[in-house]
Amino acid sequence: MKGSHVQVAPINCNLSNLIVFTTVSNGEHPETILHQHESFSLRVTVEFGGSGAIALMPLSLCIKVSFYAEPCGLGSKIELGDTSIDTSARTFTYTPTLTIATPTAVGLVAEEIYQVTAVLRVGALNSPALIMGFIDGLIIQIYA
């Protein structure tokens, strides 16, 4: 045998729909206004496409999403936590969701407005990522 040729087919990955939601609807405020003592969740949508996605999904790769909040005024970025899902055959859309006990539990304070960012990493956790990306722009407000 003279040699081998390996070609990695194209893979598309779309990170979208960064949202916040609560399990108990408040009714008087939009979902982006959170009471400091009520739980909430953050979710994104990760969609794979292209001819290479069919080969990639059965490899049980880790889709890890880390969430951060940064005050819109002065202040440091706060790590909210991360969540992971493994890929599976014939599944091309994933919705990693992080549930947070309360804003206070992760260091978010009342009377502050934050921009939330989600950072995506796909691949083995102890190796360089195959796919990386981020999405931001979600604004949340905490009240007492």
What mean pLDDT, rounded, does the chain reach?
Answer: 89
Q: Alpha helix (H) ranges present in the chain?
A: 53-56
- pLDDT 10s digits, 61-102: 999 999 999 999 888 999 999 999 999 999 999 999 999 999
pTM: 0.90
Residue 4 within a domain = no
Residue 7 within a domain = no
Residue 97 within a domain = yes
Give the CATH number, domain containing residue 47.
2.60.40.10
Q: Measured between alpha carbons, how far is 16 from 38 in angstroms, rounded to an integer?
A: 25
Nearest Cα neighbor of 35 from 97, 105, 138, 96 is 105
Residues of the chain with pLDDT under 50: 1-2, 4-8
For 130, the domain range is: 12-143
